[in-house]
Amino acid sequence: MRIFNADSPLMEGLSKITDLVILNLVVLVCCLPVITAGAALTGMHYVLLKMVRNEEGYIVRSYFKSFKQNFLQATGMWMIFLAVGILFLLDLRLSGGAAGTAIKLPVVFRYLLIAGGIYIFMIYLYAFPLLSRYTNTVLGTLRNAAVLTVASFPRTIAMIVATIAMPLIVWLFKPVLPLLVLLGISGPGYICALLYSPVFEKIEANAKGQDKQGDQAEAEED
């Protein structure tokens, strides 16, 4: 039957899911030391973007290639997000007048804090994909991620929904917990890659256009 041919939509879909499961398990193992989570996420997005653009080769080999190349920068950036996240949770606890605190801040400060936390999360969603694709400093990558969160706001909202949907489903329906282990990171990441890939393509197209203009200007000068 054609449905079981190697190039049929069904078999291609099953192959894609299998690759995502393998990738998810590798990412989970590499995230266990915590400090390596940044490099693990960067490697994942490197592979996911190739999958979305149908450029993928060997999943594990490509993953560890990016993991090694971006380890130092990814780890530094992950430490920044981790520190900011811890501070955010502490501030959120204190602003709510948690037990042992002297005062409870006005509710408006709590809302502003939550809004700031959401914005940091939005930057986080773009930061590691950018690092996996482009050569830049950590601060440069974070700056570009901050710009993209606003420039591609509808896509950013969709990425937030895709990222939190599966943990929310597992929290509401505990029997599907194995789904989180198999696809909890790579699954939402793949949806995010579908969303940010056109944004990256536009950036790359603009960069090529500028390079061509520069080449033409140099030729005219010569």
pTM: 0.88
> Where do the structural domains in the chain lie, given as residue ranges?
2-196
| Residue of 218, 190, 153, 217 lying closest to 49 (CA atoms) | 190
Residues 6+ apart with CB under 8 A from 24: 181, 182, 183, 184, 185, 186, 187
Query: Amino acid identity of 90?
Result: L
Element (H, E) at 191: helix 186-221
- Report residue 191 as tokens: 């949806």
What the block records as the tokens of 61 is: 């080999």
d(CA 211, CA 13): 38
215: tokens are: 């080449």
187, 163 Cβ separation under 8 angstroms: no
Query: Two tokens at 137?
Result: 């400093």
Which of 186, 211, 210, 209 is CA-nearest to residue 50?
186
Rounded Cα distance between 20 and 163, Å, is 15
**CA–CA separation, 208 vs 147, rounded Å?**
20
Alpha-carbon span 56 to 112, nearest angstrom: 42
Which tokens belong to 162? 């895709």
pLDDT digits (tens), the chain, 222 positions? 565 565 667 778 888 999 999 999 999 999 999 999 999 999 999 999 999 998 867 899 999 999 999 999 999 999 999 999 999 988 888 776 555 555 566 778 888 889 999 999 999 999 999 999 999 999 999 999 999 999 999 999 999 999 999 889 888 988 888 888 899 999 999 999 999 999 999 999 988 877 655 555 554 555
